[in-house]
Chains A and B, each alone.
Chain A
Amino acid sequence: MTEIFGVPIQALFGQLMLGLVNGSFYAVLSLGLAVIFGMLNIINFSHGALYMTGAMLTWIGLEYLGIGYWWMLVLAPICVGIIGIAIERLMLQWLYKLDHLYGLLLTFGLALMIEGLFRDLYGVAGQPYSIPEELSGAFNLGFMFLPKYRAWIIVASLSVCLATWYVIEKTRLGAYLRAATENPKLTQAFGINVPLMVMLTYGFGVGLAGFAGVLAAPATQIGPLMGSNLIIVVFAVVVIGGMGSILGSVVTGLGLGIIEGMTKVFWPEASATVVFMIMAVVLMIRPAGLFGREK
């Protein structure tokens, strides 16, 4: 059996895959945060809770309504997006004129409420969700077995990121969006409904979180606490990458996922904290983040 630095190559590639899977989640979640931040100038603390909501909805859909994975892959993000739009219309829109920190505090309170509600309804124990038939099993790549579902998570996440990038950078709607980010007043003066775009942006951003939640459902234990620990890591990812560019968030997310996976092989004790350590180093060398611009 081939070994690299005394680690069997299968284990190494296995962890690399897991790292890529985690990195895909980081990428989709930090992308959502970046899209929301660009338009609303707030950090959405409830992002993790809404990711968890996406996963819980997937489970609820199958458990109580008999709706399968593929339908929920479409329905759950839409539901989460609608919840997001309700949050934006009912609460967030009153805070735009205030210090941006209030947006963070409000969404933190919402995260507590969502998390507490699911905990009260379903307890803290994780719910199992089986991998859909089409994606169970594994590819034999010769040097390793690649579980199909893991490959699917990576492909699906990256496709969504790519589609988001395309819409924002290459379409007319994206051009309006970028204009509204740059100068909302002027854009509105040209007859574009900026408040509507802000609303849809928030809905879309949290919809991405819901989508990541559905992807995560068969891969992890679905529980009320699955979002909150993840979101803190994603915050660190966002600090490392800076929220300036879409591709930046995707690259940073994937890269940190891989680094985290490799740390699990070579220094398991540090795997939970390695992203935070990298954040500390980046803050020392390049405070604005790898892809951020110094203001």
Chain B
Amino acid sequence: MNRRVTVAYLFGLGLLLLAPMFIYPILVMKVLCFALFACAFNLLLGYTGLLSFGHAAFLGTAGYVTGHALKVWELPTLLGLLVGTGAAALLGWVIGSLAIRRQGIYFAMVTLALAQMVFFFFLQAPFTGGEDGLQGVPRGTLFGLDLADDINLYYLVVAIFAGSFWLIQRAIHSPFGQILKAIRENEPRAISLGYDVAKYKLLAFVLSAGLAGLAGATKTLVFKFATLTDAHWHTSGEVVLMTLLGGMGTVFGPLVGATVIVTLQNELADKVGSLVTVIMGAIFVICVLAFRRGIVGESLALYKRVIGQKPL
């Protein structure tokens, strides 16, 4: 990370540590889970140029596996999170190896179809509770702290988010991340330079799926249940929207996008009912037509135009 990003990162972290004094912690935790989900997704779309339309599968899988591990196997909390994340990464390896055989639009369709298969599996599997979802997942304890207390859990969630965010930044700015960008910009050229493009794409996919899984596992811990909604294609669309709205390929874009969308849904849910979907769709359309760089991307461009230098 360069100096300005580091400053922004530390400033944001400071805000997060103080946030529960002012805002309902569950809401912030929900935002953080979706922000992590969107950041993981951005690693794939923004930095590798792969549009996955099936990321809900990883969120949902990790949610169910972690829920099952904590509730039925009675594993310790951290181990439960780890098992869920691992399951999502494994699924990411399977789906990723199939999907990277096609490019562009086909890649999106393949991931969507395979994720739908995962959805049907969860709909029928006995351990997920079908339409009711997996209820009553215990949060457990960590280092002797009772996570049933929202504040304790809050700081765990902040730690998970901050750690993952840092990890993603490290990945993007590493030689590995540079190769991903090369693939995004010009895949044939990356191949001609001798890079095993399929291997890098798959690795990026697995990393993204694993982190999306970590978001799902954390989400189960926060809400104490896992439902089919998390694995539904609507959720896959939502994460695309968050990334697009915030600004794909920007460091803080997905975080901003997730904050806006989650807050919006929270505010609108009881006011407009099913029109929420229409509003989400409209935001999608507006973003694609007029606002393709997203909030962060457009702000940076504006800053550059006014001040005349690159801000970050």
Contact = CB atoms under 8 A, between A and B. Distances in A.
Interface in A243-271: 269
A30 to B, nearest CB: 11
Interface string B239-260: 0110010000000000000000
Contact of A235 (B98, B113, B281): B113
Interface in B281-301: 281-285, 287-289, 292
A279 interface: yes
Contacts of B108: 43, 101, 104
A116 B102 contact: no
Interface stretch (B7-15, B114-122, B210-218): B114-122
A277 to B, nearest CB: 7
B53 to A, nearest CB: 8
Given A106-B288, A109-B282, A112-B277, A236 B105 contact: no
A113 B280 CA distance: 8
A238 to B, nearest CB: 7
Interface string A99-131: 011101110111111111101100000000000
Given A116-B276, A120-B273, A228-B233, A287 B288 contact: no
A160 interface: no
B106 A239 contact: yes
Contacts of B104: 100-101
Contacts of A236: 109, 113, 116
A136 to B, nearest CB: 33
Nearest to B115: A232
A277 B278 contact: no
A112 B280 CA distance: 7
A283 B117 CA distance: 15
B281 A110 contact: yes
A114 B280 CA distance: 11
Contacts of B102: 239, 283, 287
B116 A109 contact: no
Contact of B98 (A110, A113, A283): A283
Interface in A266-295: 269, 272-273, 275-277, 279-280, 283-284, 287
Interface residues of A, number: 43
A102 B244 CA distance: 10
Contacts of A100: 104-105
B129 interface: no
- Size bracket of the B interface: 35 or more
Contact of A112 (B114, B281, B287): B281
B112 A232 contact: yes
B51 A238 contact: no
Contacts of B17: none
Interface in A78-118: 91, 94-95, 98, 100-102, 104-106, 108-117
B113 A279 contact: yes
Contacts of B229: none
Contacts of B124: 269, 272
Contacts of A119: 274, 277
Given A95-B288, A108-B237, A120-B278, 15 more contacts: A42-B105, A95-B289, A105-B240, A106-B289, A109-B280, A109-B281, A112-B278, A113-B285, A116-B277, A116-B279, A116-B281, A273-B117, A275-B113, A279-B110, A283-B110
Interface of A: 37, 42-43, 91, 94-95, 98, 100-102, 104-106, 108-117, 119-120, 228, 232-233, 235-236, 238-239, 269, 272-273, 275-277, 279-280, 283-284, 287
5 A-B pairs with least C-beta separation: A109-B284, A116-B277, A112-B281, A113-B281, A116-B278
